[in-house]
Amino acid sequence: MSAKKVKVFAVLGIPVIDGPADIAELLISALSRQKTPLRDGDALVISHTLVSKAEGRVVDQKDIQLSEKAKDLAGRNGFDPFQVELALRESREVLRTERVLITETLYGLVCNFSGVDHSNAPAGGYVLLPLNPDASAQRIRESLLHRTGLHKLAVIISDTQGRPWRKGSVNLAIGCAGISAFKFNKGKTDLYGRVIERSTVCQVDEIAAAAEHVMGEAGEGTPVIVIRGYGYEDGSEHGRDIPRPKTEDIFR
């Protein structure tokens, strides 16, 4: 038995973009410059900020008309009213409005401010989440496969979000392609040879978490991280399937 080894490293030299861009192209150039071309089996974690900007999901404050609801919510909580307005527009349900603004986004994520953020946004701008993070991941993955001739790549689009019971944010997966969101341990045996009845692990959230420290949350300029040696399988469940459906979520 040999030890499984996983390596996590950043892709340096990806330029700051403020408009439409071809992420696969930027990525392959940068990887080539640092002499670490992609290999079959690599997983890439990409900060949603880069994807959103490349997809034009940035809104300028001067183009935002505030609703009464946004002004009211912002006033009561000391929030930025423009961020609240965008969070409401991006949501299909508002779940909590005291101290936090927890929404369910149009895409189905449950998170603070619908993921609308102004850090790492151009001056006066707000970055929204990609419209369909699974589809974004799929597009980037297909372009990478096409350009590199590789057969097995995973692309995970990440965002750093808070959690209900635990302090501090963690990086997690909002979309993915080429990798199953989950791995299933059911049927494996434990240390004592007994069959495990159930155990489903959200592997894409764990991979996104593993990438965060190398990626950084501030101005590191390293929005793409390579995870090498992880050993994953593709499957039918992706980012969209991670949030608990309303009927199953007993914590709302």
Structural contact between residues 43 and 249, judged by C-beta atoms closer than 8 angstroms: no
Q: Which of 80, 113, 81 is nearest to 94 (CA)?
A: 113
Dihedral sign from CA coordinates of 17, 152, 206, 181: positive
| Per-residue tokens: 244 | 């608990």
CB of 139 to a second copy, least distance (A): 23
DSSP 66: P
- 151 or 192: whose CB is closer to a second copy? 192
- 119 or 146: whose CB is closer to a second copy? 119
- Residue 138 in 3-state DSSP? helix
CB of 142 to a second copy, least distance (A): 25
- 71 or 213: whose CB is closer to a second copy? 213
- 68 or 248: whose CB is closer to a second copy? 248
CB of 14 to a second copy, least distance (A): 11
Distances (CA, A) of 151 to 27, 34, 58, 68, 156: 17, 22, 33, 51, 16
